[in-house]
Structure 1
Amino acid sequence: MVGLVLFGVLVLAIGGCACVVWAERGGPRWVRHVATVTLAASELVRRSEKRRRRSLTRTTSGGD
């Protein structure tokens, strides 16, 4: 069951990336909307990863 969920997430990620490329080449309106959502989601993931790394660095270096 977990494998099926991960496979679904992988398919959505690949589809989103394909829509980003297609939108860059002037795809239909729905593709541009999917591309916008994909890019916004990737930015959220990037920001949360930066915050997580900063908090881990503070935690490990603050104990010295």
Structure 2
Amino acid sequence: MTVLVLLGVLVLVIGGCACVVWAERGGPRWARVVATVTLAAGRLLRRSEKNRRRSLTPTSSDGGSGGD
């Protein structure tokens, strides 16, 4: 079942990338809509990954006193 879900996601990603290329070359309106959705999803994923990395980085807000 997991393999089918992953294959479905892979098909959606490949289809979205194809629509981005097609829309850049002046494809139909529906291809431009799919391309816009695909690019927006990519931006959201990048932003969430940046936020996740920021939350995992240790901060030195204690001033480095060493616990004295």
TM-score normalised over the length of structure 2: 0.84
Quote the RMSD (CA, aligned, Å): 1.6
Counting matched residue pairs gives 62
Identity %: 77
> What residue in structure 2 maps to residue 29 of structure 1?
29
Q: How does 1:4-43 map to 2 (within 5 A)?
A: 4-43=4-43
Q: Which runs of 4+ in 1 moved over 6 A?
A: none
Residue deviations 1:21-42 (CA, integer Å, cap 9, x gap): 0000000000000000000000
Cα distance between partner residues in 1 of 2:40 and 2:50: 15
Show structure 2 runs of 5+ residues with no match.
none
Structure having the larger proportion of residues in helix: 1
Cα distance between partner residues in 1 of 2:4 and 2:51: 29
Which structure exhibits the higher relative contact order, with contacts defined as CA atoms closer than 8 Å and separated by 6 or more residues? Answer: 1
Show structure 1 runs of 5+ residues with no match.
none
Equivalent AA in structure 2 for residue 53 of structure 1:
R
Cα distance between partner residues in 2 of 1:16 and 1:3: 20
